[in-house]
Amino acid sequence: MVAMHDDSPYLQALVEINSPPFNEKEWLLSNFELYKSTLIWPDNLPPIGRSNLQKGMLIEKFNSTYHEILSEFHYTLDNGNQMLILGDRLEDI
C-alpha cells in the first residue's frame, strides 16, 4: 500500500498568494516551517532539496514558488538553528 501525502497545507499556502492583500515577506515567514518540510536539512549543514519532488506535485509547486519569492529578498539560513533570517527586498536596498 502506498502512503498518501497530505497536500492540503501546500495548496492552502499557494492559495494565499492570490488572496489580497498578499504580503510576500509575511507569507515567507509564516510558511517557513512548511518550506522546511520540503527539504532535507542536516544539523549544522545547509538544506538540500528532496529528490522525490516531481513536477506537477503540489509539494514541488510550493517548494519552487517559495524559493522563487525568497530569492527576491536578502536572506540568511541559520543552519545551526534551522531558521530563516529575512531582510529587505533586493530592489528596496
- Got the DSSP string for 21-41? SP-HHHHHHHTHHHHHTTEE-
pLDDT digits (tens, 9 = 90+) for 26-76: 999 999 999 999 999 999 999 988 878 888 889 999 999 999 999 999 999
Please tell me the predicted confidence (pLDDT) of residue 24. Answer: 96
Question: What are the residue boundaries of the structural domains of the chain, listed by start?
Answer: 23-40+49-92
- Cα–Cα distance between 59 and 25 in angstroms, integer? 20
SS3 48: strand
User: How would residue 92 be classed by pLDDT, with cut points 50, 70 and 90?
Assistant: low
Quick check: 1 pLDDT over 60?
A: no
Q: How many degrees, rounded to 5, is the angle at CA 85 between CA 83 and CA 87?
A: 160
- Cα–Cα distance between 36 and 50 in angstroms, integer? 11
- Positive or negative CA dihedral for 59, 62, 66, 67? positive
